Structure 1
Amino acid sequence: MILVFVLVLVVILAILGAAHWYVWRRLVRDTTVVRSRWRRAGNAVFIAGPILAVGALAGEQAGLPHAAARVVAWPGYLWLALLIYLFLGVVVGEVVRPLLRLWLARRAEKSPALTAPASDTTAASQGDAMPSEAEAVDTVSETDGPLGVSEESVRVSRRVFVSRVVGGAAAAVAVGTVGAGAFGVLNGPSVKRITVPLAKLPRSAHGLRIAVVSDVHLGPILGSGFCRRVVETINGTQPDLIAVVGDLIDGDVEDLASSVEPLRGLRSKLGTFFVTGNHEYISGVEPWVTKVRELGMRPLRNSRIELPGFDLAGVDDLAGEDDGAGPDFAAALGDRDRSRAVVLMAHQPVNIYDAVDQGVDLQLSGHTHGGQLWPGNYIAEMANPTNAGLEKYGDTQLYVSRGAGAWGPPVRVGAPSDITIVELASLQA
């Protein structure tokens, strides 16, 4: 097991290292002159970024104090998100680059006087060591601007000019994408509403509203202020019942006690119910189960409660199987009255297959984040039966929330956060 973990870690580090090198090559080496201040600044960013990212990922697991982990987490995780879109940007740039060079060449043939000629100055004369640009090197000085163009109309080679245009565009799009994605997360989740008809639901329970909350991920980045916005959003919907379907936190109870305190203010007619997610097991499941109970939630740990018109059940997360625990569907559902509708809270959508076997009417899940960062949604779709939204599996319906918060980078792209109000509908109404 340890050998497998080490091998996986080595592969991940190798992929990250290769991605950093590739992006650095295109955005820094191919666009700057050796020993220029822009080269030095770019090198510094691509050295500090990975160090901060590793610090953010290791964080408190490596014994870093919570306060220090918060300081490192912000730039480290944002750098990881930025790296994703810088990488995608420069990959797209590989297609744009030759097309732009071709356009410039044809423009130069038609109007030579309008196009700056490529410099014939050799790399050695400028101290440049850009192998990919050996045939086309800048004649830039230390006083040049970020694009290497001074007021004295310094000549810039066509190849380097193209690298700067493409790299600048990729960087601008990446920064804008990450900035917009971070604003969406920090601004708080939106409210999504769906209606789910249940064949066994009596007329008396028609219209009952369940606020489904998943993947809040309170931790080094998302703290008490974010938690307060989530609570205010939930309470603003005036739900009949609140279902917290796992991954509420990332960290120890002692460190996050103040961050989760606003959860004490959750209000609903039938109460707030909670099931564990994989991150509760990472962070210490028993202390957190005790804590959420103290905050006024009722943990459903492979258990069930009868509510007016239907049963509400919950199972522990699959991560508990590593400790000899995990979901126990027989304990949660085995002796129930099958004439009554049952709603199951289970963190991971993959539990749907057991839910179908147990005759569950509706399963509420999270875990996927909807992919969180495009194109992560394609990976999430391959790893889960349902990535987000409502789908039917036989007579069982599965609803998967994208989650209220974010794990790692506080950024979402193409997968907006949400709190979902699931309104149950009776076919008899």
Structure 2
Amino acid sequence: MFIVIGLVFIILYALIVFYIGWSGWTWIKPRISRRFRLVYIIALVFLASSLILSRVVAGSTLLSVIGSYWLALFSLLLMLLPLVHLTVWITKLTRLPRHSVQKWSGIVTLVLLIVLLGYGSFNAFSPAVQSYDIHIDKEGPANGELNIVMASDMHFGYLSGKSHAERMVKEINNLKPDIVLLPGDIVDDDIVPYINKGIGDILSGIQAPLGVFASLGNHDRFDGEIDELIGLLEESGIQVLYDETFELGGWLTLVGRKDYSDKKRAELADLTEGVDLSKPVFMLEHQPVGLDIAKEQGIDLMVSGHTHHGQIAPGHLLTARLFENDFGYLQKGQLHSIVSSGYGFWGPPIRIGSRSEIVSIHVRFANSP
């Protein structure tokens, strides 16, 4: 079954690549020598294979960068080209010169592609701060308030690298958090760039009096034991809760879950057994699933990521169908669900219709003045 699905996917991908290649060739053909055709075909095949090759040739920075940007071009052209071809077809009903229409359709497509790449790159690499104020009707710390900073889906790798990590740490510290929560997808399927770029040393600079806590996501996997990643994170002063609970300061319980895709993850009822629900309970759950279960088990605040808010529109329409809360804030009973669009990106290093973000959560408790 998986082989059949894989073959269908490859055939569909090949047909789309052919469509993109044919569209480009139709536009440039009148302006170049026919002998350029072979170079064009080789370049297109290389670009289309680059992302796959980057997985085969593990550790290749060049292939990873080329593959990621090819995926960005592929995604944008898949949206733009059908609209351009429809427009060109409509102009056939007019007296506009066909040669001029074809020429300017290519120029407009190229300009739009450059603009969207620039805009998408800005959204991906220039994170905003998203703020929320919530109230929990339980006794909190002595001053009755808590400043939480949350960041998810960093996907630290070849493109979301050292400078992106430094920017994140600086922004987190500027927000002066009491506690920092990182609900998963810290690395991007590969631990090598995380180590080589010294991301761990950078993350050790996060300052939060109550500590930095993390859960792991579906991309926090690689060819090796998960204990290696957990060890690296904990060397940076980040406490990983891997289907674990942690009591903090005698007044707060933190629950960190394995990712929803992990068949061995524990039931939430087992994790919260024995937890004092008269005190606040926060949960790090990478994928925003099981909100009703979290409410029933007495969770007060659930922080998640995973969805990227679609990352590239209209992807947000799909995530909105898949998740009850795919982005932002939702309250169900005592449960406050906050889902981040993520600090990094997956695949194409662009965001359109979404933006990288760090989340600031100001919590007031029952004993707040």
TM-score (norm 2): 0.90
Question: In the alignment, which residue of structure 2 is the partner of 1:261?
Answer: 201
Quote the sequence identity (%).
26
In structure 1, which of residues 272, 280, 292 is the aligned counterpart of residue 212 of structure 2? 272
- Aligned pair count reads 364
Q: Name whichever of 272-281 and 298-307 sits farther off.
A: 298-307
Q: Give matches, 1:100-249, under 5 Å.
A: 100-105=91-96, 158-187=97-126, 189-202=127-140, 204=142, 206-249=144-187
Corresponding residue of 2:262: 320
Q: 1:256 to 1:45 in 2, by over 3 A?
A: farther
CA deviation string 1:198-221 (max 9, x = no partner): 122447353311111100001122
The C-alpha deviation readout for 1:14-41, integer Å capped at 9, x for no partner, is: 22222222223333225523xx527666
Give deviations 1:315-349, integer Å, cap 9, x for gaps: 1112321xxx2244234211111111211111010
Q: CA deviation at 1:302?
A: 1.8
Q: Which residue of the partner structure matches residue 347 of structure 1?
A: 286
Distance 1:92 1:332, change over 3 A: same
Contact 2:189 2:221 in 1 (8 A): no
Instruction: Single out whichever of 160-169 and 241-250 deviates more from structure 2.
Output: 160-169
Q: SS at 1:250's partner residue? A: coil
Q: TM-score, normalising length from structure 1?
A: 0.78
Structure 2 counterpart SS, 1:164: helix
Secondary structure at the residue paired with 1:349? coil
Query: 1:12 corresponds to which residue?
Result: 9
Question: What is the letter of the counterpart of residue 275 of structure 1?
Answer: S
Match of 2:352 in 1: 413
Name the CA distance, whole Å, in 2 between partners of 1:205 and 1:343.
18
Distance across 2 between alignment mates of 1:96 and 1:332: 57
1:52/1:73 contact within 8 Å kept: no
Does 2:87 align with 1:96?
Answer: yes
Query: In structure 2, do the counterparts of structure 1 residues 201 and 377 end up closer, same or farther at CA, with 3 Å as the change threshold?
Result: farther
Instruction: For 2:222 and 2:291, locate their aligned partners in 1 and report how far apart those are by CA, in whole Å.
Output: 23
Inter-CA distance 17–254: structure 2 relative to 1 (3 Å threshold): closer
Kindly state the Cα deviation for residue 254 of structure 1 after the two structures are TM-superposed: 4.5
For the Cα contact (< 8 Å) 2:190–2:222, is it kept in 1?
no
More helix by share: 1
CA drift of 1:75 comes to 2.0
- Ranges in structure 1 where 5+ consecutive residues have no aligned partner: 106-157
Tell me the amino acid that sits aligned with residue 259 of structure 2: D
Please say if residues 310 and 354 of structure 2, whose CA atoms lie closer than 8 Å, have aligned partners that are also in contact.
yes
* 8 Å CA contact retained: 2:125, 2:356: no
1:422 matched to 2:364? The reply is no
Which residue of 2 is the match for residue 76 of structure 1?
Answer: 67
- 2:230: which partner in 1? 289
Q: Shift of residue 80 of structure 1? A: 1.5
Taking the aligned partners of 2:247 and 2:313, their CA distance within structure 1 comes to: 40
Tell me: CA distance 1:220–1:160, structure 2 relative to 1, closer, same or farther (3 Å). same
- Which residue type is aligned with residue 233 of structure 2? V
Give me the CA root mean square deviation. Answer: 2.3
Q: Check whether the contact 2:136–2:334 (CA below 8 A) recurs between aligned residues.
A: no
How far does residue 94 in structure 1 lie from its aligned partner after superposition?
A: 3.2
Q: Quick one: higher RCO (CA 8 Å, sep 6+), 1 or 2?
A: 2
State the secondary structure of the residue aligned to 2:129.
Answer: strand
Residue of structure 2 equivalent to 1:56? 51
Cα displacement string for residues 233-257 of structure 1 (whole angstroms, at most 9, x for unaligned residues): 1111110001011000024445421
Equivalent pair of 2:50/2:66 in contact (CA under 8 Å): no
Distance 1:219 1:203, change over 3 A: closer
Please tell me whether the aligned partners of residues 217 and 247 of structure 1 are also in contact (alpha carbons under 8 angstroms): yes
Kindly indicate whether the alpha-carbon contact (under 8 Å) linking 2:295 and 2:334 is maintained by their aligned counterparts in 1: yes
Instruction: Report the Cα distance in structure 2 between the residues aligned to 1:41 and 1:181, rounded to whole angstroms.
Output: 31
Amino acid at match of 2:262: G
Decide which structure has the larger Cα Rg and report it: 1
The farther-off stretch of 404-413 and 39-48 is: 39-48
Q: Distance between the aligned counterparts of 1:392 and 1:50, measured in 2?
A: 48
CA change 1:76–1:337 in 2 (3 A) is same
Question: Is 1:311 aligned with 2:253?
Answer: yes
**Pair 283,207 (structure 1): closer, same or farther in 2 beyond 3 Å:** farther
Change (3 A) 1:171 1:414: same
- Partner-residue secondary structure (3-state), 2:165: helix
Cα deviation digits, residues 159-200 of structure 1 (max 9, x gap)? 23222222321222122101221233234x222111121122
The residue number in structure 2 matching 1:376 is 315
In structure 2, relative to structure 1, the CA distance for the partners of 1:375 and 1:39 (3 Å cut) is farther
